[in-house]
Amino acid sequence: MDRWWQNFGDVGKEILCFLGERQCNSANWDCDTVKYSISGAVAHLKLDDTRTGNALTTKTLSALTDAVVELHGRPDVKVVVFTASGFYFCSGGAFAPGDSSSTAAAEAAGASQEELGIAANMPLACLVYLLNTMPQFKVASIRGQSMGAGNSIIASMDYVIAPEQRTSLSFKEATRGLAACTSWQGVISKIGVMQTRRCVLFAQDVTAAEALELGLIHELIPAGGPLASALRAADERAAEKSLELASGTESERLALKTTGPWGCRTRLLPVPAAVLDSRGPSKHGPLDFSSAVANIIASCGHKGRPSCARLSNEMWPHTNRVMLERAGQHVAVLRLLCQAPRCHFDRPLLNGLLDALVELHKSVGKVRLVCIHLESLPTCTGCFSDIGSDCPKEALDQALFLLQMLPFPVVGIVAGKMTGLGVLMCATFDQMLADKAATFAFAGLSSCSSLCADFLAPRLSEETLKQLVEEGPLKTATEMKALGLVSAVVALKSDLESVLERVCERVSSCAPNAVAQSKAFLHQVGTCTMDLSVLRSMSRHLARFADSIRAISEKDHRPAYNRHPHSRVIPPHMLASPAPVGLLVPSRTSTSLEGSSSGSVMI
């Protein structure tokens, strides 16, 4: 399978040509927002613009590009150390008016607003590409809250050291109405598409400890004592690490890299069979995941109910196997019901699932969060332990893909024993809350190799999945959290409501259109090798969201999706009863997620 940075040599030359000749290098360096020097085999880059929280202003972005371009041609430099002044490593892109040199040529040529946006975003996209493909080993000492492009710079490092206290990576793009960021190539290639989805669709603030689990941070300076001491210790450890690496051999450094063509551990996202089939007999041409969803819905033979009956109890023929209801405010709940003793996945269940998924895809505007319940019965062998012979593989492919591409964040809530297709479905969730007593069995998945490759492997890696299927051990929820499939292990009976409140608060802050488009964009970018055309596509995508930047540059601007009480996402237990549009105020009740949908979705 192709890697992210295939053909990096040729692509790098194209990018250098696109950027043009650089004027500054280590010999004539004069930038006051970035300090840059080379001492023997080690180069030092220090972000030094504390006034902006070391944001990527045009000046800082250009300076970093100058340094990185030079280092691409300096084989005598073996290690590069990245540090920062102040209390922030990099607070992301700077949207305040400034030097417009990056768009001057486009403006002179009479370019459209979209073309101007592309011209403005391409320099950052090129910088992150060059950072990832630098031949040197990159060590970084980070600090504070990093956001946006700052996260991608961190993800482009081979070894990251951070104080445990007051260090976090915030993925706030969706709260700004942005469906993507040109710099995401660094994050996606480091942790994969599915883990990136988990971060961005819920606007997560990833703590230092969580970043360590994800592989974005590699070493923590323990909390305790003054923050200044911890920051100094991280910088000293980075300097120590750089000298240690510089004294080693080239092969030793390459073996330790975690980025670029030498060290990237994640593979490109496989293209599900349902997507290839949706393109017709030729199965060639560029991938378009939004069109694939539309084509599958049109051809799968399931239409869902009329709009007036959607998300209600009316005209629903699958009540004994699949339950779909609206609950709370802007929340839909989907339940798949096991039947003892085998709890296998049969055609009636598949039909109900496809009807529900088609209906949810048509419910944009009514739904902003989907909760999916999977629970095995005490008397059965596991949740969907096997797949019925009456279930066509093509329909299963379509169902799993439509589930994976629902245009809202999806939270899976699982209890009991997950087996077979139950485990596969868990891999499509954006977040999964697993009961403390939940278990996961992989032994029965040997007969679903293609489905596993399309949906489970991107979550667990091919090597881990192969080991789990071959050895067949029963895994606990805690063990699956360590492997990245489970987001949180909770006591569902006592903790579910409080967890859902936090999830809903996060989703309320995100723009619905950003979430919907972000999934398709991430999968489209995540299935192709990075090159200049992909970078242009990423820049074009971001350019279409120019109005959303107001939420960043204008502190008093509140976007429409988060401006009114009736726009919020509220779990069922916080709504006493339906309220008129515009007058909805959350209040605590004893209503549980297991109850009827008394709280209407308000739009």
Instruction: Compute the radius of gyration of the chain from its Cα atoms.
Output: 25
How many CB atoms neighbour CB 267 within 10 A?
17
Domains 1-257 and 273-483 in one fold = yes
* Tens digit of each residue's pLDDT (9 = 90 or more) over 297-309: 999 999 889 988 9
Whether 585 has a pLDDT exceeding 90, the answer reads no
Q: In one letter, which amino acid is 92? A: G
pLDDT number for residue 205: 93
SS3 state of residue 597? coil
pLDDT number for residue 461: 81
* Tens digit of each residue's pLDDT (9 = 90 or more) over 371-397: 999 988 776 777 887 787 888 889 999
Whether 353 has a pLDDT exceeding 90, the answer reads yes
d(CA 532, CA 540): 12
For the chain, the structural domain boundaries read: 1-257, 273-483
How many CB atoms neighbour CB 596 within 10 A?
10
- Report the chain's terminal Cα–Cα distance, integer Å: 44
Whether 183 has a pLDDT exceeding 90, the answer reads no
Residues in the chain: 603
SS3 state of residue 333? strand
The structure's pTM equals 0.85
* Tens digit of each residue's pLDDT (9 = 90 or more) over 76-131: 999 999 999 999 999 988 755 444 455 555 555 666 767 777 888 899 999 999 99
* Tens digit of each residue's pLDDT (9 = 90 or more) over 466-495: 889 888 788 999 999 999 999 999 998 889
Residue 30 pLDDT grade (very low, low, confident, very high; cuts 50, 70, 90): very high
Whether 577 has a pLDDT exceeding 70, the answer reads no
Whether 447 has a pLDDT exceeding 80, the answer reads no
Whether 180 has a pLDDT exceeding 80, the answer reads no
d(CA 440, CA 447): 17
Q: Are 150 and 171 in contact (CB under 8 A)?
A: no
Whether 408 has a pLDDT exceeding 50, the answer reads yes
Question: 3-state SS string over 105-134?
Answer: HHHHCCCCHHHHHHHHHHHHHHHHHHHHCC
Q: Which two tokens stand for residue 596?
A: 């009827």
Query: Does an H or E element contain 137, and which?
Result: strand 137-141
CATH architecture of 1-257: Alpha-Beta Complex (3.90)
pLDDT number for residue 150: 94
pLDDT number for residue 562: 62
Mean pLDDT of the chain: 85
Which one of 137-146, 537-546, 582-591 scores highest in mean pLDDT? 137-146
d(CA 204, CA 169): 8
Q: What is the largest CA-CA distance in the chain?
A: 76
SS3 state of residue 44? strand
pLDDT number for residue 340: 67
- Please indicate whether residue 544 or residue 532 has the higher confidence score (pLDDT): 532
Whether 591 has a pLDDT exceeding 90, the answer reads no
Is the preceding omega at residue 512 within 30 degrees of 0, hence cis? Answer: no
* Tens digit of each residue's pLDDT (9 = 90 or more) over 150-177: 999 999 999 999 999 999 999 988 887 7
Which one of 80-89, 193-202, 586-595 scores highest in mean pLDDT? 80-89
Q: Which two tokens stand for residue 83?
A: 């540090």
CB-based burial, 40-49: b 16+ in 10 Å, e otherwise:
ebbbbbbbbb
Whether 531 has a pLDDT exceeding 70, the answer reads yes
Residue 328 pLDDT grade (very low, low, confident, very high; cuts 50, 70, 90): confident
Residue 208 pLDDT grade (very low, low, confident, very high; cuts 50, 70, 90): very high
pLDDT number for residue 65: 96
d(CA 64, CA 131): 9
Burial class (CB in 10 A: 0-12, 13-18, 19+), 108: exposed
Q: In one letter, which amino acid is 468? A: L
* Tens digit of each residue's pLDDT (9 = 90 or more) over 280-295: 655 555 678 989 999 9
Task: Tell which CATH classification among 3.40.50.1820, 3.40.50.2300, 3.30.365.10, 3.90.226.10 matches the domain 273-483.
Answer: 3.90.226.10
Place of tokens 């606990």: 476
Whether 1 has a pLDDT exceeding 80, the answer reads no
pLDDT number for residue 435: 95
Question: 3-state SS string over 529-585?
Answer: CCCHHHHHHHHHHHHCCHHHHHHHHCCCCCCHHHCCHHHCCECHHHCCCCCCCCCCC
Whether 240 has a pLDDT exceeding 90, the answer reads yes
d(CA 96, CA 216): 28
Phi, psi of 271 (to 5 degrees): -90, 115
Residue 242 pLDDT grade (very low, low, confident, very high; cuts 50, 70, 90): very high
How many CB atoms neighbour CB 285 within 10 A?
8
Q: Quick one: what percent of the chain has pLDDT higher than 90?
A: 53
Question: Which residues make beta-bridge pairs with 42?
Answer: 39, 79
Classify the C-alpha dihedral 223-225-231-237 as positive or negative: negative
